[in-house]
Structure 1
Amino acid sequence: MCLPGIFIVTLLTLSIPAVHGGKVLVYPQDGSHWINMKVIIEALHSRGHSVSVVRPSDSWYIKETSPHYSSITIDIPGGADEEFFSSFVSRQIQIQREGKSAWTRFSLDMELKDRFSEMHRRVCEMVIQMLENKQLMQSIRETKYDLVLTDPANGGGVVLAHYLNVPLVFNVRWTIHGEAHFAIAPSPLSYVPFPVAELTDNMSFFQRVRNFLVYVIRQHLYKQTVGPHYSALVSRYFGPEVDYFSLFQAADLWLMRVDFVFEFPRPTMPNVIYMGGFQCKPAKALPQDLEEFVHSSGEHGVIIMSLGTLVAQLPRDLTDELAAAFAQLPQKVIWRHKGDRPTTLGNNTLLVDWMPQNDLLGHPKTRLFVAHGGTNGVQEAIYHGVPIVGLPLIFDQPDNLHKMKARGAAKILDIFTISRDIFLQALQEVLNEPSYRMNMQRLSRLHRDVPMEPLDTALFWIEFVMRHKGAAHLRTESYRMPWYSYHSVDVMVFLLAVVLLIMLTTVAIIRCLCFRMCSRQKIKHE
């Protein structure tokens, strides 16, 4: 190589920030959240980092062996139970469709609350078992991890990071107290909708009342569900004066699994990094059998339907209604379905146990996505510009779809009252009304028009924390302030007291002067 060439290569090499293979300790949330975490883990591994994953012995999604990470398996139940959540969804559908009493639905919600409380209790037990295992903790300390990467939907990784005194990075959409922005960023309820309220950033007076009430009630419910467990855990290892949620707010970096194509505009913070759609990627070639089926759709194209991992199977009569509607369409349909074959299934519909969802959404013949509204599916639909007919069930699904509806890219149906005619009409509306596809494609263009791919952005900031041993300069310390200081109540009280003091002093002086003048006039008269 000639000398100028060597000089250029050397210059380019020196200009790239040095990133040595770091050591990352991951404390994930089991279930569908693991799908997101796994994407980041694999990317970190590909860049030469060593990753260790903490998992319970009965983990639902997280495998003990992997070419991308080593496992730290704790011999304790994890609490994230696939059977419970799938049966809960099935019972929710049954209760709603049968129109049972509000008390029955409330009882089911309380059962879910109790189950989440039990899950967090088990998380705390798992952390205690780790911290009390001297040999394990010595091994973890000797490894000298550069940071802890965790999903704050549970608090295990948060407590572990503070106990080890290493930087903390979140892969986050939800914390144990709800939507993540509300834990760290100013969130005026006048124009920042709380997710469960299913509102936009343009609210009427009564919508703002609803937003406020939903926020207050939900925050109380979250604290009732998780507070006793984490308060006891934090008090045991950090002292009774430490508020457990302040440990969450002290995280160095928040990698947020959304962006402002999806979210409504709102205040944010310097250590919040947006990586919405980081798991999305260009479509790969389909398996031959699926490609032949899709290609056979001709100019009409295909519809894909998936209701996620929590729905093992829908009630038989409901699947018959959905299948009957599909059968009346000229499009081909690929339906991820488990359970008995619907009796009304048309020749245009293919039932599958699993589908390459991202690759199908990216296929040029895909016209429509029938979905439950999970964050991953919605983000993939945005990425590929495919409009949605939504059948939300639980958790954040109604709100996710509400955001898409507000942008004109989705139509939402009530799965509990749906019929073949209602479903067919909705499918035809989204297929035949160009605005749905145009709006979703506009969102897709906005989402893709970024200087850096979301996953690369996430990796850069994770490595940034490794290089600088944290990101304290981006983190506000406002979480340490008592509420009356945060909202300047003490300042306003002080200023009001000063004003009152000045007013009272002025009145006293005036009264004193008036008294002296009256006294002098009285003496003159005498």
Structure 2
Amino acid sequence: MDILIKALYNHGHNITVLRTTRSWYTKENATHYTSVTVPVSESFDEEFIKPILKRLFATERSATSVFNFVSLQFEMFATMTKVHEMVCRMVRTMFEDDDLMQSLREQQYDVILTDPAWGAGIMLAHYLNVPLVYNVRWITSGEGHHAIAPSPTSYIPKTGSGLTDKMMFNQRIKNLLFYVLMDIQHRFLIKPQYQAVCNKYFHPHVDFYELLQGADIWLMRVDFVFEFPRPIMPNFIYMGGFQCMPANPLPQHLEDFVQGSGEHGVIIMSLGTFVSELPQDITEDIAAAFAKMPQKIVWRHLGEKPTTLGNNTLLVDWMPQNDLLGHPKTRVFVAHGGTNGVQEAIYHGIPVVGIPLFFDQYDNLLRLKERGAAKMLSLSTVNENIFYQAVQEVFTEPSYRKNMQRLSDLHRDTPLKPLDSALFWIEFVMRHKGAAHLRNEAYKMPWYSYYSVDVVLFVLTMVLVPVFLTVTLVRWVCIRLHGRSKIKNE
């Protein structure tokens, strides 16, 4: 979101960022925004996420696949429930602070830009009666398309299912199962928490899910080069790769290391911000595999230094990922499949070896794999040999790079840059005090109206009742006539 905020600031807008005392990334002081800090006792920060990641890694690497699936689902459900509890406590703290809310009302904001994966911004927009814009595709209980756009489970895979848009019968059953699981999570674990806040602070009959569905603009960090084709709504704006840009020169020490790779080139590895290190045995295997390769390796790694580390591998605390991916020496990207990394790889045309860990990462990598631009590995089975062979396959097989270059060409061939499109629609909402004309009102309909169950029942009634009455009348006439005939014969 910081990229959008800086771009808005450069367009002359004044931005206020609402953060907590335990915000992981959002700094209290910055030149491009003014911050308002809400006190909290716990938050979705590094201290919270690290023990959860350890449990997830342990679960994924143990027992059978069925056990893994059930255990991972329970772990993720428990984690998300806990996170939403923290968000709701933050909202209550905000709404109970009369001075804070009065100050926010007096500012008369033009728009609220929020991450809909957490419901605080959604309820704040309703409280202040300010137009609402989302900046990602994820909502409190899954993927945003499914909230308001037609999403048949027959060809639209649910997040986490590991399926594509081409499903056999048994795969459609699996997809429906994931839909049911997500619906259960939403109905019984997540929505009740936010609804309780709505019931306390808003007028009666304010439904949280309708507030969520009623955003003016949904900025989606995807495009159809990456996403499977599917129905969308007029207020869905695709801005996939909005953070991507041409590579800047590398710091001198990094440029010297990269140039030292000669004709072999460079492999870069990063598992994103959440994951600073993998389990130690996997780290040792990966380091040993890298040590056998002729390429130079730049690896973002914050944990204990592997004992098997080769002289060709440079460990860094932080890397200019976009600039490295855009460097002419870079050949392969080893990644966890996060949205930023996947889109930057597409932008620069670098094929991927993926090790998905959680959330949407498996689905992101699956889309690249389906397009022949990535090789996927599993945390439960990866070892030195498997990792080495996967990297070498992507490195030596030309189709991976060719397919990724094609995706890059398609992604870049647009009349308007994704960031410019996002800025236009944010400012559009500001100019017109919302975008109600783009919102489909279907989300306000009860399910039986949405699926026309009431209409079907009415039509069936109108057809079947006359048929039933006609059949009954004919039967009655036949019985009477038969009775009279019988009496005459006797």
Q: Does 1:157 align with 2:111?
A: no
Q: Does 1:423 align with 2:398?
A: no
Q: 2-side partners of 1:446 and 1:64: how far apart?
A: 39
Q: Does 1:258 align with 2:222?
A: yes
Instruction: Check whether the contact 2:148–2:442 (CA below 8 A) recurs between aligned residues.
Output: no
Q: 1-side partners of 2:415 and 2:65: how far apart?
A: 52
Q: 1-side partners of 2:125 and 2:15: how far apart?
A: 15
Q: Equivalent residue for 2:38?
A: 74
Equivalent residue letter for 1:169: V
**% identity of equivalent residues:** 60
TM-score with structure 1 setting the length: 0.89
Q: 1-side partners of 2:66 and 2:473: how far apart?
A: 66
Cα–Cα, structure 1 residues 99 and 522, in superposed 2: closer, same or farther, change >3 Å?
closer
Q: Which runs of 5+ in 1 are unaligned?
A: 1-36
Identify the match of residue 388 of structure 1 among 325, 342, 352.
Answer: 352
Instruction: Check whether the contact 1:90–1:311 (CA below 8 A) recurs between aligned residues.
Output: no
* Bigger mean CA deviation after superposition, 360-369 or 94-103: 94-103
Q: Does 1:455 align with 2:419?
A: yes
Residues 284-325 of structure 1 show CA distances to partners (whole Å, capped at 9, x for unaligned) of 111111111111111211000001112232233222211111
Q: Equivalent residue for 1:117?
A: 81
Q: Does 1:402 align with 2:366?
A: yes
Alignment of 1:347-496 (within 5 A): 347-496=311-460
Instruction: Check whether the contact 2:60–2:72 (CA below 8 A) recurs between aligned residues.
Output: no
Q: Does 1:191 align with 2:155?
A: yes
Cα–Cα, structure 1 residues 90 and 226, in superposed 2: closer, same or farther, change >3 Å?
same
Residues 69-108 of structure 1 show CA distances to partners (whole Å, capped at 9, x for unaligned) of 1001112235212123123223332444454997688566
Residues 359-399 of structure 1 show CA distances to partners (whole Å, capped at 9, x for unaligned) of 00011111000001111100110111100000111111111
- DSSP 3-state at the match of 1:138: helix
Identify the match of residue 201 of structure 2 among 215, 224, 237.
Answer: 237
Q: Equivalent residue for 1:228?
A: 192
- DSSP 3-state at the match of 2:409: helix
* Bigger mean CA deviation after superposition, 127-136 or 189-198: 127-136
Instruction: Check whether the contact 1:390–1:401 (CA below 8 A) recurs between aligned residues.
Output: yes
Cα–Cα, structure 1 residues 86 and 126, in superposed 2: closer, same or farther, change >3 Å?
same
Cα–Cα, structure 1 residues 252 and 512, in superposed 2: closer, same or farther, change >3 Å?
same
- DSSP 3-state at the match of 2:297: strand
Q: Equivalent residue for 2:287?
A: 323
Give 1:468 shift.
Answer: 0.8
Identify the match of residue 247 of structure 2 among 283, 291, 295.
Answer: 283
Q: Equivalent residue for 1:506?
A: 470
Identify the match of residue 139 of structure 2 among 170, 175, 180.
Answer: 175
Q: CA RMSD in A?
A: 2.1
Residues 435-470 of structure 1 show CA distances to partners (whole Å, capped at 9, x for unaligned) of 111111111111111110000000000011111111
Q: Equivalent residue for 2:262?
A: 298
Instruction: Check whether the contact 1:95–1:105 (CA below 8 A) recurs between aligned residues.
Output: no
Q: Which runs of 5+ in 2 are unaligned?
A: none
Give 1:200 shift.
Answer: 0.6
Equivalent residue letter for 1:236: K
Equivalent residue letter for 2:35: S
Cα–Cα, structure 1 residues 297 and 277, in superposed 2: closer, same or farther, change >3 Å?
same
Q: 2-side partners of 1:453 and 1:62: how far apart?
A: 26
Equivalent residue letter for 2:305: R
* Bigger mean CA deviation after superposition, 472-481 or 82-91: 82-91
* Bigger mean CA deviation after superposition, 263-272 or 77-86: 77-86
- DSSP 3-state at the match of 1:459: helix
Instruction: Check whether the contact 1:56–1:78 (CA below 8 A) recurs between aligned residues.
Output: no
Q: 2-side partners of 1:271 and 1:442: how far apart?
A: 28
Instruction: Check whether the contact 1:323–1:342 (CA below 8 A) recurs between aligned residues.
Output: yes
Cα–Cα, structure 1 residues 508 and 225, in superposed 2: closer, same or farther, change >3 Å?
closer
Cα–Cα, structure 1 residues 522 and 89, in superposed 2: closer, same or farther, change >3 Å?
closer
Equivalent residue letter for 1:226: I
Q: 1-side partners of 2:80 and 2:485: how far apart?
A: 81
Q: 1-side partners of 2:356 and 2:168: how far apart?
A: 25
Give 1:113 shift.
Answer: 2.9
Q: 1-side partners of 2:460 and 2:93: how far apart?
A: 52
* Bigger mean CA deviation after superposition, 234-243 or 476-485: 234-243
